[in-house]
Amino acid sequence: MIATWQTWRRLSLPLKLASLFLVVYGLLSLVPVLWVFSLSLRAGREVFTTLFVPSSLHPENYLVAWERFGFATLFRNSILVTAASVLLTLAVASLAAYAFARLRFRGADVVFFALLLGVMVPPAAAIVPLFVMFKGLAVFNNQGALVATYVAFGLPIAVLILRGFFLTIPAELVEAAKIDGCSELGAFWRIVLPLSRPALATVTIFLCMSNWNEFLLALVFLRDTELYTLPVGIAQFVGQWDSPWELVAAGVIIAALPIWLLYLGLQEQFVKGLTAGALKG
């Protein structure tokens, strides 16, 4: 704090203003969050009359919102769907990426190019056939079908990032392991994967974020309220106009908080995961 103050004092006037501007803009962009937080602690009658600081605090709003909107179920569903889809994508994508990086096989280029094109396909472009297919296969309104779809749409970017990383691992390491008696799968599992932790972390964060927040597919595929994931639950219960404002606000904070807490702990990884995914995609 003192060091910051001393650097600030030594700055020229334009830089002082620039520094001040950053802080003020940062605070302003926090206003929506702070306002929602203040709403979430108000008594119902104070929702429309108070600007920022409520006269009495009502943390019990959080308990009411948690119960009323069924957050326990929503969190459980979102955690299940995200964990299953991300783990499955990682397993399937890392195997494929390894094959594209190290094992040449007939048709590899064609498959890889198709996969590359897949990066650009938005879910909206496939949603009608998927909806009809799942209905025909009687897996409509089924979280498994949603997970499988997330895997398919997460694969292209995951393969792309992992392949790029696998290419930087010296081939000698893999060859040495094989001379020592490792199978192809063994070398992949014991040598390549452990060395690829940074890339796996990047892909994991990227996939977790996009699947955790995904809305359109979940909205179309899930009909039973007990199956809803968080975004669908928030759109259908929390965001409804007949929901009391202080409960809506508490619901928003409840839904946002876990990710923000994770971000506090893993700030570097989050930034890397999200921007790396962007640059490669």
Partner 1 sequence: MITDSANLRSLRQPLRRPPWRRLTGLLFVLPALVFFALLLLYPILLTFYLAFTRWTGFDASQIEFVGWANFAEMLGDRVFWLSFWHTIGFVIGTTVLLNLLGLGFALLVDLRLPGSGFFKAVLFLPVLLSPVLVGVMWSRMLDAFGIVNQLLKLAGLTKTPILFLGDPQLSLATVVLATVWQYTAYDMLIYFAGLQAIPGVLLEAAAIDGAGPLTRVRRITIPLLTPVITVVLLLNFIGGFKVFDVVYVMTRGGPNHHSEVLATYLYEQAFRFNAMGYASALALVIVALSFAVSYLRMRTAGSVEELS
106-145 residues in contact with partner 1 (CB under 8 A) are 106-108, 111, 114-115, 118, 120-133, 135-136
Q: How far is the CB of 176 from partner 1 (least distance, A)?
A: 17
Q: Which of 222, 238, 247, 250 binds partner 1 (CB under 8 A)?
A: 238
Q: How far is the CB of 132 from partner 1 (least distance, A)?
A: 5
Q: How far is the CB of 226 from partner 1 (least distance, A)?
A: 19
Candidate ranges 57-65, 68-76, 168-176, 241-249; the one touching partner 1 (CB under 8 A): 241-249
Cβ closest to partner 1, residue 62 vs residue 188: 188
Question: What part of residues 152-181 is at the interface with partner 1 (CB under 8 A)?
Answer: 152-153, 155-156, 159, 164
Distance from the Cα of residue 40 to its chain's centroid: 25
C-alpha 208/C-alpha 265 separation (Å) is 16
Q: Which of 43, 215, 244, 269 binds partner 1 (CB under 8 A)?
A: 215
C-alpha 254/C-alpha 251 separation (Å) is 5
Binding-site size, partner 1 (CB under 8 A):
103
Question: What part of residues 243-262 is at the interface with partner 1 (CB under 8 A)?
Answer: 245, 248-249, 252, 255-256, 259-260
Q: How far is the CB of 277 from partner 1 (least distance, A)?
A: 10
93: contact with partner 1 by CB under 8 A: yes
Q: Who contacts 255 (Cβ-Cβ below 8 Å, separation ≥6)?
A: 71, 230, 234, 238
C-alpha 197/C-alpha 188 separation (Å) is 13
Q: Which of 33, 72, 167, 171 binds partner 1 (CB under 8 A)?
A: 33
CA dist list (Å): 158 to 2, 37, 140:
44, 36, 26
Q: How far is the CB of 231 from partner 1 (least distance, A)?
A: 4
Q: How far is the CB of 2 from partner 1 (least distance, A)?
A: 11
C-alpha 250/C-alpha 42 separation (Å) is 10
Structure tokens at 119: 């990066």
DSSP state of 170: -
C-alpha 27/C-alpha 21 separation (Å) is 10
C-alpha 102/C-alpha 21 separation (Å) is 51
Question: What part of residues 186-205 is at the interface with partner 1 (CB under 8 A)?
Answer: 188
Structure tokens at 189: 């599992």
C-alpha 207/C-alpha 153 separation (Å) is 10
